Amino acid sequence: MTTTIFVAGFHHETNTFAPSAADWAAFTCGAGYPGYARGDAMLAQMAPTSTALGGFVAEALEHGWALRPSVWAGAMPSNRVTTEAFERICAEIVGDLQRGACDAVFLDLHGAAVAEGADDAEGELLARVRAVVGPAMPVVTSLDLHANVTARMLALATAMTAYRSYPHVDMRETGRRAARMLARRLVPAAPTRAVHAERVPFLLPLNAQCTLMQPAASVIALVEQIEAQHDVELNFAMGFSAADFAECGPVLFGYGIDPARVRSAVQQLHTEVAVTRRADWKIELLAPLAAVERSIALALEADAPVVIADTQDNPGAGGDANTTGLLHALLQARAGERLQGRVALGLLFDPESARAAVAAGVGATLPLTLGRAVPTWSGALTEPPVEATVRVLAVSDGVVAMHGPMTAGATMRLGPSACVELQGIKVLLASAKAQMLDLDLYRYLGVEPAQMKLLVNKSSVHLRAAFGPIAAHILVAKSPGPMAADPSDLPWTKLPAGMATRP
């Protein structure tokens, strides 16, 4: 008899301090995420991608399982998911679940979604799924490494597994691992597996979570070592430290047949993360002009690009990719002149300027107002827009086939886009928000990243997967924007007593 698995996906990383919310349009437009899809169209869209859902589908087919596809709903990080959008997504998933039989459920979740009226959005979705399938049916989920894992999620899911890399180059493997976890639980008379979790008592800065650097690299290696030693399924969800609710923060959790082994494994990892390595979760953040000046000095001596991460305007963490602090710094430092025009910044989310440049056409010269002054959590505005006369170097419809380590198989739809030049600086303009995490996002507008001396990317860590191999140096700049690189800068109101905002 064929095993039938119900599959669905819901992804949103919520920065409750960000300026804009995720409404229904944010889930349908696509941009930096695959657009909303349902049923067979969802499987056709998601199966070839590097997502956990794509990995789960591949593994499921190898097991001979039949799949009942429901919904894929993903939106770029922002403030809360609106009530309308969340209720519509939940209603479609639950409605599909009620319309047919299945043997198990797989949900590809982010784990850090906050909706209006539901701080623990994934916990709420899991509760509604459980109300349909009952307490015994296996419900397995994949999670982002930045998940804020809650007690409700742990209680309602049969098992969860999180990405182990940041940049997230193992999303597809995580989906495959989730399928293998589900297979173990579908074996007739399979033993019940205990769960144990430990919360880390401090928030981790986003940049410190990079698993290409220490201490995260050795901690993830330890996860896999302890798993083998204790015969457990172990996870380190590092948390998304910009969601103001009581259970924001890193969580270590695991599953196993022997409760004592599970507890021992999680506690061993907790000691490593929260005690032994606590002082190591630190990052260097540079002021915008200091980052640019250091980058120019390095670039003049390097034979490969220097990359600056504009981390506080990262659209992958709730920024709108439209602040101008680093562009002002590039102009002030005369970076274009000093590096002979081999300077590029992207992607700047500016639909009005992008459309004007596209309308003017390649070779045209026109005045543009680039970027926005936006409020941050403090109420203060970021730097003003840059008013300049620019030359249009390239235009595009914004349909970009992706080939990078995180995005292979995906297509981004960024709307009218243009590369414009001012004072030797190439600025890439898009009509939709997308994190600069892939070489293709420069190439679609005629810029070959490896030929640049200095690249300014609106990203935090994901850029390292594609740009690390071509970069001589990567610096992190703390330019004013909606995503706090240091969680202690934020005006928290809901964190519990004892939760520190820095290691």
The residue whose two tokens read 């056709």 is: 44
Residues 463 and 242: their CA atoms lie apart, in Å, by 20
Residues 425-458: pLDDT tens digits? 999 999 999 999 999 999 999 999 999 999 999 9
The whole-number pLDDT of residue 410 equals 85
Average of per-residue pLDDT across 106-124: 98
Is pLDDT above 80 for 2?
yes
CB 141 within 8 A of CB 168: no
User: H-helix or E-strand containing 455?
Assistant: strand 454-457
Q: Is 7 helix (H, G, I), strand (E, B) or coil?
A: strand
Backbone angles phi, psi at 320, to 5 degrees: -105, 5
Residue 233: which H helix or E strand, with range? strand 233-237
Q: Compute the average pLDDT of residues 387-403.
A: 96
How far is CA 121 from each of CA 82, 86, 93, 117, 198, rounded to the nearest angstrom? 11, 8, 14, 9, 21
At 408, the pLDDT band (50, 70, 90 cuts) reads: confident
pLDDT at 174: 98
Alpha-carbon distance of 471 to 456, in angstroms, equals 12
The tens digit of pLDDT for each residue in 256-303 reads: 999 999 999 999 999 999 999 999 998 889 999 999 999 999 999 999
Place of tokens 């990079």: 210
pLDDT at 31 over 80: no
Residue 384 three-state SS = coil
Q: Which residues pair with 413 in a beta bridge?
A: 31, 399
Running DSSP on this structure, what letter comes out for residue 256? E
Burial of 472 (0-12, 13-18, 19+ CB in 10 A): middle
Give residue-wise pLDDT tens across range 450-498: 999 999 999 999 999 999 999 999 999 999 999 999 999 999 999 999 9
CA distances to 21, 133, 154, 455 from 436, rounded to whole Å, are: 21, 40, 33, 10
- The rounded distance, in Å, linking the Cα atoms of 30 and 414 is 8
Q: How many degrees, rounded to 5, is the angle at CA 121 between CA 127 and CA 217? A: 110
Q: Report helix, strand or coil for 160.
A: strand
CA angle 302, 303, 309 (to 5 degrees): 65
pLDDT attached to residue 20? 87
User: 416: cis peptide before it, omega within 30°?
Assistant: no
**Partners of 9 in the β-ladder:** 72, 108
Query: By C-alpha distance, which of 17, 8, 12 is closest to 42?
Result: 8
pTM, rounded to two decimals: 0.94
As a whole number, mean pLDDT of residues 74-82 equals 95
Task: For residues 281 and 259, give the distance between their C-alpha atoms in angstroms, rounded to a whole number.
Answer: 30
Q: Say which DSSP state 115 is in.
A: B
- Give the residue among 443, 445, 413 at the shortest CA–CA distance from 429: 445
How many C-beta atoms surround the C-beta of residue 429 within 10 A? Answer: 31
Instruction: Determine the average pLDDT of the residues in 312-316.
Output: 94
| Residue from 417, 374, 379 nearest 78 by CA | 374
CA separation for the pair 466, 443 (Å, rounded): 13
Q: How far apart are the first and last CA of the chain?
A: 52
For 409, the token pair is 């198989």
The torsion region of residue 440 among left (phi > 0), alpha (psi -120 to 50) and beta comes to: alpha
Query: Cβ neighbours of residue 276 under 8 Å, at least 6 residues apart?
Result: none
Task: Give the pLDDT confidence score for residue 182 in this predicted structure.
Answer: 98
Average pLDDT in the 72-83 region? 96
Looking at residue 30, what is its pLDDT?
67
The full set of domains in the chain, from first to last, is 1-190 (3.40.50.2300), 191-282 (3.30.310), 288-484 (no CATH)
Backbone angles phi, psi at 336, to 5 degrees: -60, -45
Rg (the chain; Cα; Å): 22
Instruction: State the chain's mean pLDDT as an integer.
Output: 96
Query: H/E element holding 84?
Result: helix 83-98
pLDDT band at 232 (very low <50, low <70, confident <90, very high): very high
Length of the chain (residues)? 503
Question: d(Cα 66, Cα 16) in Å, to the nearest integer?
Answer: 38
The pLDDT tens digits for 156-185 are: 999 999 999 999 999 999 999 999 999 999
Which residue from 181, 77, 25 is spatially nearest to 462, judged by alpha carbons?
77
Buried b (16+ CB within 10 A) or exposed e, 124-160: bbbbebbebbeeebbbbbbbbbbbbbbeebbebbbbb
- The three-state secondary structure class of 368 is strand
